[in-house]
């Protein structure tokens, strides 16, 4: 695992970049991504064409270099920062975040290949300027917490149950200054009146858990940002079953892992802010005691909800979590993160996380944080028209799904807004960006850190 960059050369071959249109030695092969090695100088050059012209294109090159497994290289940060579209900070961010990403020790029951570990290629970073050391330490803390979220994401659902995750978080987050953890069990959840969470949990073999992680980094301020995460450890759809289409449903707890590790990173960075994470944990299973469609349940807020679709369970558990954030934690800003709607994937694909905000200034702050973190986000509309179908129930204040809603992602955002108690609200739908190819990405951890980092 990388610990920082080197200010002095080591014995490894130094890797520099030769970019199309810039001047460099004629001995360098002008083939995109080809590496020319000069053994007499212990220097290598990777040639990049102009098709690489922004940070995200450069990330693909970084991934290529990391996974090339050709030899140990020391990366010349100064050389790469000469690319016309990158700063030193961006070059460091790209290499460090991706090196930690690929080096992460994630859950696996596979037998380890000792020869593969023995022959592992190592990369190091070279930059003579010492002024970026603190920046790199910050990146490492955030990146390691992205890995923490990814580890929870990939852990199989027969292991990562609501009860197991709450125990794991208590141990993993112990002994961090100004950070406290409270785990609410089923009895405490019932006393709070979290009827929606209990309704989703009713078919489960495991008790629900609400894990509350609080960091008080600015005791003089009354401002508090609360992150609420959807934590469906496996989603069968309930009685509105998904049928055979359940691949990847262990990732339905991604939101809770992301908000938890964002707060851990914030605490480790000692950011001057008051932040909390609320993990709403349960699976959505089928059982004789499970909630059936058309049931009416009273939420923690007191509002009644007709559960018209048991597969729209995410907004149910989040609703109780959001109200808890406003009423009990006294949030001044609530941000939820959830793999919420399939409609979001159809709208934004696997490229952008969909963001909703009740105020323009809250969106602007979030977008600025995402830009710093280099994470792709896109704002979608919160409008009262999208709430009409939520209020169409004949037997309850709200319904959790209505087939007449043709923009379900927007309707879901408006449903959640019903439980904010008029607190400023940002909703993040990461249905398309949370995972891919069987792997979790820990998306938005970095953005959530930057959102409260006022330095």
Per DSSP bridges, beta strands 439-440 and 333-338 are: unpaired
Confirm whether 242 is a catalytic residue: yes
* Residue 260, CA distances (Å) to 181, 204, 256, 318 in order: 10, 23, 6, 15
Give just the sign of the alpha carbon dihedral 16, 22, 24, 29. Answer: positive
Q: Annotated catalytic residue: which of 242, 303, 327, 388? A: 242
Rounded alpha-carbon distances, angstroms, from residue 326 to 227, 392, 445: 11, 25, 22
Interacting residues of 32 by C-beta distance below 8 A, sequence separation 6+: 47, 48, 49, 51
User: Which strand ranges, in their side-by-side order, compose the sheet holding 398-399?
Assistant: 295-298, 304-307, 398-399
Structure tokens at 441: 């990405």
Q: Is 315 a catalytic residue?
A: yes
Q: Which of 93, 209, 315, 362 is catalytic?
A: 315
Rounded to whole angstroms, the Cα distance separating 120 from 59 reads: 21
What six digits make up the tokens of 352?
Answer: 């952008």
b or e along 61-93 (b: 16 or more beta carbons within 10 Å of the residue's beta carbon)? bbeebbeeeeeebbbbbebbbebeebebebbbb
Tell me the HSE value of 105 on the side-chain side, using a 13 A CA sphere: 3
Catalytic residues, by residue number, are: 242, 315
């Amino acid at each position: 695992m990388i610990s920082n960059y080197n200010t002095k050369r080591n014995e490894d071959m130094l890797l520099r970049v030769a970019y199309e249109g810039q001047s460099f030695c004629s001995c360098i092969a002008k083939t995109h991504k080809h590496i020319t090695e000069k053994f007499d100088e212990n220097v290598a050059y990777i040639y990049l064409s102009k098709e690489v012209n922004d940070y995200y294109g450069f990330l693909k090159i970084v991934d290529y270099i990391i996974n090339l497994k050709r030899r140990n290289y020391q990366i010349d940060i100064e050389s790469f920062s000469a690319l016309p579209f990158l700063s030193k900070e961006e070059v460091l961010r790209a290499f460090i975040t991706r090196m930690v990403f690929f080096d992460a020790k994630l859950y696996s029951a596979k037998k380890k290949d000792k020869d593969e570990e023995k022959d592992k290629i190592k990369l190091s970073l070279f930059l003579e300027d010492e002024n970026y050391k603190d920046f790199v330490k910050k990146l490492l803390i955030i990146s390691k917490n992205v890995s923490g979220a990814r580890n929870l994401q990939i852990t199989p659902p027969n292991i990562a149950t609501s009860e197991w995750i709450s125990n794991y978080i208590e141990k993993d987050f112990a002994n961090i200054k100004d950070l406290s953890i409270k785990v609410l069990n089923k009895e405490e959840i019932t006393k709070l009146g979290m009827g929606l969470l209990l309704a989703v949990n009713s078919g489960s073999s495991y008790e629900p858990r609400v894990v509350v992680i609080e960091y008080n980094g600015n005791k003089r301020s009354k401002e508090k940002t609360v992150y609420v995460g959807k934590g469906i450890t496996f989603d069968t759809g309930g009685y509105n079953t998904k049928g055979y289409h359940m691949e990847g449903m262990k990732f339905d707890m991604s939101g809770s892992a992301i908000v938890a590790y964002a707060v851990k990173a914030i605490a480790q960075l000692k950011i001057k802010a008051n932040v909390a994470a609320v993990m709403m944990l349960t699976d959505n299973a089928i059982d004789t005691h499970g909630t059936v469609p058309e049931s009416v349940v009273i939420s923690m807020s007191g509002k009644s909800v007709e559960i018209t679709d048991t597969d729209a369970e995410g907004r149910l558990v989040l609703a109780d979590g959001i109200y808890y954030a406003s009423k009990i934690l006294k949030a001044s800003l609530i941000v939820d993160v959830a793999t919420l709607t399939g409609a979001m994937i159809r709208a934004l694909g696997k490229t952008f996380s969909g963001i909703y905000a009740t105020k323009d200034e809250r969106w602007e702050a979030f977008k600025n944080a995402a830009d710093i973190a280099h994470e792709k986000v896109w704002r979608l509309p919160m409008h009262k028209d999208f709430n009409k179908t939520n209020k169409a129930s004949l037997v309850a204040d709200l319904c959790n799904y209505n087939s007449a809603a043709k923009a379900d992602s927007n309707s879901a955002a408006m449903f959640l807004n019903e439980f904010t108690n008029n607190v400023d609200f940002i909703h993040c739908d990461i249905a398309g960006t949370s995972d891919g190819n069987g792997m979790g990405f820990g998306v938005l951890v970095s953005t959530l850190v930057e959102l409260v980092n006022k330095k």
